Amino acid sequence: MTRGTVAPEISSRVRSIPPSPIRGLAPLAEAAKARGIHVIHLNIGQPDLPPPPGVAAALAAAATQPPVYTASQGIPQLLDAWARYYERIGLAISPEQVVATGGASEALSLAVLATTDPGDRILVPEPFYAPYYGILAAAGVELVPIPAPERYGPVTPQAIQERLGPRTRGILLCSPANPTGTLYERDQFAAIAELAREHGLFFYSDETYRELVFRGSRAASALEMPGLEQHVIVIDSVSKRFNACGLRIGALISRNPDVIAAAVSLAELRLSLPLPAQLAAAAALEAPATYVAEVVTTYRRRRDAALAALARLPGVHVVPPDGALYLVAELPVDDAAHFAAWLLTDFTHHGETVMLAPLSGFFATPGAGRNAVRLALVQPEPVLEHAAELLGEALARYSGRTT
């Protein structure tokens, strides 16, 4: 490298992070709005539902407290609230087994940094929550995709086993999954747990959407797998089930004390989480079970309405999600990313358009997900039905239509 006249350059690891499939279209949406177009946002998992009433009360109370540093692991009130929440859903977790984090994102970041070194690999079923790729890349860790089976079902232990190597440190699963709503049954979880045990792997389980399921009361948890106490690291969040994304509070949960100690030593580097958000998240976690049940009922109604409306569109195939708050639609287009951009740049119908997330951004395998989009169920049924009509109108006009 010639030094002296050359400006320093940004890192390779950052250049390897693909642009966010959600955020990349944002400037196009802003431009559409500037032209007076009404954009229906189905592109981002930003719930439109109100958080439990305790959240606003806790924030108001926090306003009178001095904004001081708190314990890096989280304030005792928040760790206790997590433990009580887990007790209510039938999982024995003590406050010492919880590290409060800045959302599920920081929980995964701490989990990865605590358990991997640069050059290590983590296996992840495709499609996956898009930021996984960058969170691993920032840590110098390679995301090894496990291609999705037909219809985005759970991956098989066989598919995992085939991709194990000497640098494989673990398996990262999300159930129910963002973006597909795929739900792993207990026996499917157990088979993967067995692999983790056999090969000495970490089992990173993103359970952000745990209760948001359309059969049963909650998804199977990696914390229920016997003999896997040293392997399981659960990623959790108050964002979705309590509609409190903007608090940015999640948690890393593990029964492995070394993992907790490592995560705390990493958390100490950022000293603490904001106090007001911690107090508000503790209040959210104390919400009655009826609160989450109503959230699930709302998403079930929306899913059913969206499925029915999309079924009316020729050439559109939808995979009915078993949980979470998204659905994946395969569209009769050459390139769904191009189509999603076109919706914002070229299409309007009575002054309206719709914003979708191209599914390609949720894959590491080049070319995968090219004909699909993710829709977030973050609008009331009439809006979802109306958005489906707009989508039908757009598909009828789009020049890259394939069928």
Q: Which of residues 164-223 bind a copy of itself (CB under 8 A)?
A: 169-170, 197-202
Question: From the CB of 344, what's the least distance to a copy of itself, in Å?
Answer: 18
With H, G, I as helix, E, B as strand and everything else as coil, classify residue 32: helix
Smaller CB distance to a copy of itself: residue 75 or 333? 75
Selected from 28, 275, 307, 383, the binder of a copy of itself by CB under 8 A is: 275
Q: Which of residues 101-160 bind a copy of itself (CB under 8 A)?
A: 102-103, 105-106, 109, 113-119, 131, 134-135, 138-140
Selected from 153, 276, 332, 400, the binder of a copy of itself by CB under 8 A is: 276
Which residue stretch of 1-9, 33-41, 82-90, 148-156 sits at the interface with a copy of itself (rule: CB under 8 A)? Answer: 1-9
318 in contact with a copy of itself (CB under 8 A):
no
403 in contact with a copy of itself (CB under 8 A):
no
Smaller CB distance to a copy of itself: residue 267 or 331? 267
Provide the mask over 21-60, with x wherever binding to a copy of itself is found by CB under 8 A and - wherever it is not: --x--------------------x-x---xx---xxx-xx
> Could you tell me which residues come within 8 angstroms of residue 276 by beta carbon, excluding any fewer than 6 positions away?
59, 62, 63, 65, 67
CA angle 403, 364, 20 (to 5 degrees): 85
Output 141-145 pairs: Cβ under 8 A, ≥24 positions apart.
141/112, 141/116, 141/169, 142/167, 143/364, 144/168, 145/363, 145/364, 145/365
Which residue stretch of 81-89, 269-277, 366-374, 390-398 sits at the interface with a copy of itself (rule: CB under 8 A)? Answer: 269-277
325 in contact with a copy of itself (CB under 8 A):
no
Q: How many CB atoms lie within 10 A of CB 382?
A: 9
214 φ, ψ to 5°?
A: -100, 5
Instruction: Tell me the number of residues near a copy of itself by CB under 8 A.
Output: 87
Question: From the CB of 63, what's the least distance to a copy of itself, in Å?
Answer: 4
Q: Cβ(251)–Cβ(81) under 8 Å?
A: no
Question: From the CB of 54, what's the least distance to a copy of itself, in Å?
Answer: 11
Q: Cβ(141)–Cβ(17) under 8 Å?
A: no
Smaller CB distance to a copy of itself: residue 7 or 150? 7
Report the C-alpha gap between 349 and 199 in whole angstroms: 55
Provide the mask over 56-95, with x wherever binding to a copy of itself is found by CB under 8 A and - wherever it is not: xx-xx-xxx-xxxxx-x-----------------------
What's the full length of the chain, in residues? 403
For residue 127, whether the previous peptide bond is cis, meaning omega lies within 30 degrees of 0, is: yes
Report the C-alpha gap between 24 and 136 in whole angstroms: 20
